[in-house]
Structure 1
């Protein structure tokens, strides 16, 4: 893992270019602690900081192809690099290293961007081809690694994080109200947008080509249509799923000589990953790490300990209290890369920080719930489909609301009353919108009243679901459940969950690997009919069958709890003063987006206990802390000391 930056620099490469690259790279220095490097390569300046897993001594970046024509900076790992290297050598390539970076650049020399179909791994990279003057920015199919870019007067600038890109003198720094509106519904800034006007993200499964002053986006991968393998039997599907899952874990464990740990929540997904990792690891017992919350409504550490003992892992429990969570907000959110309103980032950050003291990388269970219909929402969606076939939407809405009001009020993890009430509000919506309307900090209809009149004018025709609509184009005939699943993958998995895992780990230079998001496994699961993922009201059906021989029976059958933080209590307790100060009228006046009167109602209601408005307040707090810290984030930090250019780089300059 690593961080990288770069920019078009037609006649540069001197002290000014090096200083700009140094300032940008310093903003992502936490992503790679094993050294840094920079070079000017025939019209482009590149810089890189490394967290090495494969051939660290000879694979320093920026890396040049053997011909010297192509330079690359690369964040991620190609898990099948050994097999691809053998193919390259068999075809006559004189490779100089054992690194996946060299495999990437030499494949490009031979196959161009068609090589992306050969790669199995996670990646974001920037590649410059001096033969054509072309710069290519690419992300893997699921978007596991971030990549931002912006037009600048001489071409394009790019970086692994938004904070780094903002250190380029020609990149804009003005917040984008329409993107903020997306964030307040979706909890993240969905690609291709960003928090800043004029700055974009490369979409997952896409690459952006800059050539002759023109930017062109090309989609190289998208999720398959569900139901293609409709005639697959249960036993056949289970055998194929198990083989692909085991292969996905094994690829990640064995692609590096370094031991990896597992973030073990105690739920089915991470427990299955831990089971296979323990079975294939060549390094002895696998280190596993779980969060232990002082709030018992959120604590799964006993379940994680049960699994760890069953598997024989080297287990570590990271105890987390409200003060620990508040410390992360107070010390980091003012200099966050980009606002993210997912409270689970807090415990993720703390557990990753503890794990980094023992390992450089961990496996996670991310992706299983979205791909295999594991969320309770999908069970509710199936029930909703059945109800809507026999009664009108207004009666379903009234019924759900009435049941919700009869349930007890509680503020713990996944309270049924709140979940049912939120679902009731989305009954009349399109299936692909219901998940987001049920979990949104703010419903789209409420946004104009939240914004100041001058900012609300920018929201005319605002549609937070435009990217969902794009993903569903040409997919006629999908069931409501299938449309819901694709929509959840579109934003919640890609923009929320994977942003959280990248940010939570890389702040401590810890690499997170997600076997369930292996592209071969994803493509197979995508093509399966929904009944093999959600059997009746049992989610992750194939995974439960596959994991039954590996795990305790209670683990396989357990209902998902979810990895969250007690944000409602946190805002009333440890973060109360910070919340009031950050969302005070004077502070909101500086930002110029939100109406202080509307925010005051949310504050008073939550802090008095009249109603829980923590979702909206959390989103506003995260955004406002970032916005307040934006001017400081753009000040020039001291540049890191780049490593010397390699001999190949010197010859190419």
Structure 2
């Protein structure tokens, strides 16, 4: 809902600090069109641009505490701020506004970093505590809002987006090759690393403090599962469904009731977003909820008829955004070179188009993000369950051969996740451990392929590099988990946090559209994580509890429907509308200038795809997205990057 920047400014001078803040903030102006301001606070400069939802007249940022000791810039919303407001008042603090921003800064003065355990919402914030000279940077437990930082002479600089941080005159600009290796596997630059060496992201559920020249990190939340191997004495199916429904309704209500502004729903027609739309409509009887869906020209990717059927059933105000190849190519050419950081999820393209259209009607929208990870809805989890069972009777090599045989015998098509392709991908990871299997089966490039793809100089930087280090860190201290549980935590680590939620934030905020995800409500997530796998993946039916609960709200066809997924037809685009851009951006001359990718290896991928010998679109898209960003890294900022604000006064 906002964007912010800041930096240590000792010795900088007021005018120089203001000019730097203005230059940095202009790069994130799309995140907050309702106004901007800046503040010099005892050695730290803070600047903020706003997209307001709560107390827009009085919650202006940067916000300073009543004592004057603490200054804050904040992106997001604290959904339980009314409850926390009462706590702050009970401690004797007189509040001056109705904003959640003030509650946050005053609660910090009362509780310090311990207050992070109390927050329910989506947030990234930076505050400066003049009492100790400490700068604190924090992100919510799921990582819904981004936050980058780097050390600069005399302190630290930070921003909501990498693009803004790189406008600080002391920010580094060298590509991070080890993080690039992770991107080629995971499709994203995974926290705590970034695409630039020396620039870091605050981890989800963590805060970073800069004090007396030192950085320290504190993790205040991480996902934990109750092992299936232990005797389970939890609720039965009926009680679990009742409690799940109660928490889910509360999660939707928190997001709808926290603002007087009208919210829409991004409605795909699948179970997750349909359930969100159903509860949102129940909360606003007599006032149709605006719903928005994508209608693709390619029928293999189109779910608009399903979304329309749900909208009619619920009585929403429905809008269909028609999307063809030229529309998707237009997003690439107009926006991708200015993207904050490379993200190789092609569904970002239709997401941008739907969000752009939705912003003409609403300032915020609900999504179904998180349900598949929380409730084991992906087909992959069904496959993982089957692997667990089959490996009890078949050795891995025989099972691998069987899967490959099935994949060859199924009919091939170019649609959205055809069965043959899915089985072929799965076969790649069969011999891996469960927590690695999802990524190895879906990676654009397997780790073992990177030495041939990168130049010798770039490849030499990967010595000893482990792409699964963050997965291993989050699994540490959680013994006894089943294969499905290990894979669930692994998928949450990078695919949900670094891919899905990055796409959601970027897709919406580029148009100043705030997206809210009820399935990622912390109370709901913790309850889901406490349940045994069988209440989420019942035999081979994923999202079992949600299907039970939603049966009373939605048509049976929606409740039973297999997930299609929100994707873009990249194979056809790279042979068609995007072919000139592909050939130019990944030309031998361009790659030699960059010095990271081997031109011969990339040329082979291009020739195979355009010649129709094999589909290398996932690999090419990953390379194209990175190279577009890389070429803009040293280019001058362009006027079209972001709207400019009037000079900060």
Contact 1:74 1:101 in 2 (8 A): yes
Tell me how far 1:92 sits from its aligned partner. Answer: 2.2
Q: How does 1:616-631 map to 2 (within 5 A)?
A: 616-631=619-634
Aligned to 1:651: none
Contact 2:29 2:644 in 1 (8 A): no
Tell me how far 1:454 sits from its aligned partner. Answer: 1.1
Aligned to 1:133: 133
Q: Which moved more, 1:125-134 or 1:635-644?
A: 635-644
Query: 1:94 & 1:11 partners in 2: Cα distance?
Result: 35
Aligned to 1:641: 646
Tell me how far 1:411 sits from its aligned partner. Answer: 1.1
- 1:571 paired with 2:577, answer no
Q: Which moved more, 1:114-123 or 1:492-501?
A: 114-123
Tell me how far 1:12 sits from its aligned partner. Answer: 3.7
- 1:518 paired with 2:521, answer yes
Tell me how far 1:93 sits from its aligned partner. Answer: 1.5
Tell me how far 1:643 sits from its aligned partner. Answer: 5.9
Query: 1:259 & 1:635 partners in 2: Cα distance?
Result: 34
TM-score by length of structure 1 reads: 0.97
Tell me how far 1:283 sits from its aligned partner. Answer: 7.8
Q: How does 1:264-343 map to 2 (within 5 A)?
A: 264-281=267-284, 284-343=287-346
- 1:22 paired with 2:27, answer no
Contact 2:346 2:567 in 1 (8 A): yes
- 1:398 paired with 2:401, answer yes
Contact 1:194 1:201 in 2 (8 A): yes
Contact 1:12 1:40 in 2 (8 A): no
Contact 2:22 2:648 in 1 (8 A): no
Q: How does 1:129-208 map to 2 (within 5 A)?
A: 129-208=129-208
Aligned to 1:385: 388
**Cα deviation per residue 1:502-560 (whole Å; 9 max; x = unaligned)?**
00000000000000000000000011110000001000000000100000110000000
SS of residue in 1 equivalent to 2:635:
helix
Query: 1:16 & 1:476 partners in 2: Cα distance?
Result: 53
Q: How does 1:497-646 map to 2 (within 5 A)?
A: 497-632=500-635, 640-641=645-646
Query: 2:511 & 2:62 partners in 1: Cα distance?
Result: 22
Aligned to 1:74: 74
Query: 1:446 & 1:146 partners in 2: Cα distance?
Result: 30
SS of residue in 1 equivalent to 2:174:
coil
SS of residue in 1 equivalent to 2:123:
strand
Tell me how far 1:634 sits from its aligned partner. Answer: 5.4
SS of residue in 1 equivalent to 2:184:
helix
**Cα deviation per residue 1:463-520 (whole Å; 9 max; x = unaligned)?**
1111000000011111111000000000000000000000000000000000000000
Q: How does 1:56-71 map to 2 (within 5 A)?
A: 56-71=56-71
Tell me how far 1:87 sits from its aligned partner. Answer: 2.5
**Cα deviation per residue 1:366-396 (whole Å; 9 max; x = unaligned)?**
0000110000000011111111110110000
Aligned to 2:431: 428
- 1:483 paired with 2:486, answer yes
Contact 1:163 1:634 in 2 (8 A): no
Contact 1:425 1:438 in 2 (8 A): yes
Tell me how far 1:91 sits from its aligned partner. Answer: 2.9
Contact 1:19 1:639 in 2 (8 A): no
Query: 1:66 & 1:282 partners in 2: Cα distance?
Result: 40
Query: 1:512 & 1:442 partners in 2: Cα distance?
Result: 30
Match of 2:377 among 374, 377, 401: 374
SS of residue in 2 equivalent to 1:85:
helix
Match of 2:247 among 244, 249, 261: 244
Tell me how far 1:227 sits from its aligned partner. Answer: 4.0
Contact 1:210 1:216 in 2 (8 A): yes
- 1:411 paired with 2:414, answer yes
SS of residue in 2 equivalent to 1:609:
coil
Query: 2:404 & 2:337 partners in 1: Cα distance?
Result: 38
Aligned to 2:88: 88
Contact 1:290 1:351 in 2 (8 A): yes
Tell me how far 1:629 sits from its aligned partner. Answer: 1.2
TM-score by length of structure 2 reads: 0.98
- In the alignment, structure 2 segments of 5+ residues that lack a partner are none
Contact 2:270 2:558 in 1 (8 A): yes
- In the alignment, structure 1 segments of 5+ residues that lack a partner are 645-653
**Cα deviation per residue 1:424-461 (whole Å; 9 max; x = unaligned)?**
11111010011001110000000000001111101112
Query: 1:626 & 1:96 partners in 2: Cα distance?
Result: 44
Q: Which moved more, 1:46-55 or 1:77-86?
A: 77-86
Aligned to 2:49: 49
**Change in CA separation of 1:210 and 1:470 when aligned onto 2, cut-off 3 Å:** same
Query: 1:223 & 1:634 partners in 2: Cα distance?
Result: 39
Contact 1:259 1:283 in 2 (8 A): no
Tell me how far 1:576 sits from its aligned partner. Answer: 0.7
Query: 1:462 & 1:93 partners in 2: Cα distance?
Result: 50
The two structures, once aligned, show a CA RMSD in angstroms of 1.3
Query: 1:585 & 1:270 partners in 2: Cα distance?
Result: 44
Match of 2:368 among 354, 360, 365: 365
